[in-house]
């Protein structure tokens, strides 16, 4: 072997060594961003979970790194799928469910989740994405199966979302697959036929009209109540005034009667005659009373001065 061949072999060996060093150096360092975590394995077995930063490791094939976006929000679409931003299609076998009152309803869910434990996500669970979707579908059917169709289609969606999220959280605590639920939303719910859908739309419209009428009635009540209260206060004040007036009048009558009674007790004959004459004046206001001492007969003569032939003898008197 000549010297030229030896130099060529050495050159090739040197180049190979440089390439090997570059490969070893590039595979011995890795970088993890703030939104990521890395899982380090040695000969395919889990070693540790690494946070953000620049880290070193043994070159391949001794150690390997799997980087996961643990802060990335991921989604599950249940009951529908999408081919793009505005291209959606229904999946009836996922969305069709039976309610607690044995009605059929189509309901779609949108769920947001993220990785909570990279080790469990990679090594303790086989296909955690599929497991999570199956768990979600089972949970949704359990919750919808306890609700009336009115709740599913109208006012009960918020409660359904909360119930699904809570029940799903309990399942994930029991069967930890390295993920956590961020949010659960009812994307859409509708009856299976257009006739039923129209009936429920009419029900919703009627409920809204009821709320509107109720609010209008409350507003009318609030506008009329002050006026009615003022009128009631006025009536009460008038009644109190009339009551006091009647009390005062009764007390005056009482005092007058007591005074008359006292006078009668002192002078019974005189008082009785005076009361008799006062009563006559009240009953027959247009007459004059004359007393004839000669015959001892009381005669009533008209005020226009008619003669004595038209005089009327008082009851209880003697007449000649």
**Run of H or E including 84:** strand 80-84
Give 100-130 pLDDT, tens digit per residue. Answer: 887 888 999 999 999 988 888 888 888 898 9
Give 164-174 pLDDT, tens digit per residue. Answer: 999 999 999 99
Q: What is the distance between the alpha carbons of residues 154 and 158, in angstroms, rounded to a whole number? A: 10
**Run of H or E including 15:** helix 3-26
Give 194-220 pLDDT, tens digit per residue. Answer: 666 677 677 778 888 898 999 999 988
Which pLDDT band holds residue 145 (cuts at 50, 70, 90)?
A: very high
Does the domain spanning 74-192 belong to CATH 3.90.228.20? Answer: no
Return the minimum-mean-pLDDT range out of 17-31, 91-105, 228-242, 266-280. Answer: 17-31
Q: What is the distance between the alpha carbons of residues 135 and 168, in angstroms, rounded to a whole number? A: 7
Tell me the three state secondary structure of residue 167.
helix
**Run of H or E including 194:** helix 194-266
Which pLDDT band holds residue 293 (cuts at 50, 70, 90)?
A: low
Q: What is the distance between the alpha carbons of residues 320 and 298, in angstroms, rounded to a whole number? A: 11
| Mean per-residue pLDDT over the chain, rounded | 80
- In the chain, where the domains are located: 3-68, 74-192, 267-313
* pLDDT value of residue 133: 92
| Assigned token pair, 217 | 């009635």
Q: What is the distance between the alpha carbons of residues 21 and 12, in angstroms, rounded to a whole number? A: 14
Which residues share a beta bridge with 185? 110
| pLDDT beyond 50 at 311 | no
């Amino acid at each position: 072997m000549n010297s030229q061949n030896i130099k060529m072999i050495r050159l090739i060996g040197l180049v190979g060594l440089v390439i090997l060093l570059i490969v070893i150096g590039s595979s011995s360092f890795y970088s993890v961003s703030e939104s990521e975590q890395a899982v380090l394995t040695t000969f395919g077995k889990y070693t540790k979970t690494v946070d953000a930063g620049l880290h070193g490791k043994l070159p391949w094939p001794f150690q390997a790194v799997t980087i996961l976006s643990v802060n990335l929000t991921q989604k599950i679409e249940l009951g529908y799928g999408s081919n793009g931003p505005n291209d959606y299609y229904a999946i009836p076998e996922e969305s069709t469910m039976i309610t607690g009152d044995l009605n059929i309803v189509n309901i779609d869910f949108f769920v947001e989740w993220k990785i909570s434990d990279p080790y469990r996500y990679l090594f303790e669970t086989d296909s955690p994405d599929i497991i999570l979707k199956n768990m979600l579908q089972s949970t949704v059917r359990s919750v919808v199966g306890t609700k009336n169709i009115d709740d599913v289609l109208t006012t009960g969606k918020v409660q359904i979302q909360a119930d699904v999220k809570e029940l799903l959280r309990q399942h994930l605590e029991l069967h930890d697959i390295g993920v956590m639920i961020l949010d659960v939303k009812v994307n859409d719910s509708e009856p299976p036929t257009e006739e039923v859908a129209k009936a429920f739309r009419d029900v919703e419209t009627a409920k809204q009209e009821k709320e509107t009428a109720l609010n209008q009635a409350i507003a009318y009540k609030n506008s009329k109540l002050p006026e009615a209260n003022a009128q009631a206060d006025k009536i009460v004040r008038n009644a109190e005034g009339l009551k006091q007036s009647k009390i005062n009048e009764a007390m005056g009558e009482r005092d007058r009667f007591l005074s008359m009674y006292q006078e009668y007790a002192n002078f019974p004959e005189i008082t009785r005659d005076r009361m008799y004459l006062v009563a006559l004046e009240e009953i027959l206001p247009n007459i004059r009373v004359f007393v004839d001492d000669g015959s001892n007969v009381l005669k009533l003569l008209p005020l226009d001065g008619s003669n004595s032939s038209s005089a009327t003898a008082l009851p209880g008197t003697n007449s000649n």
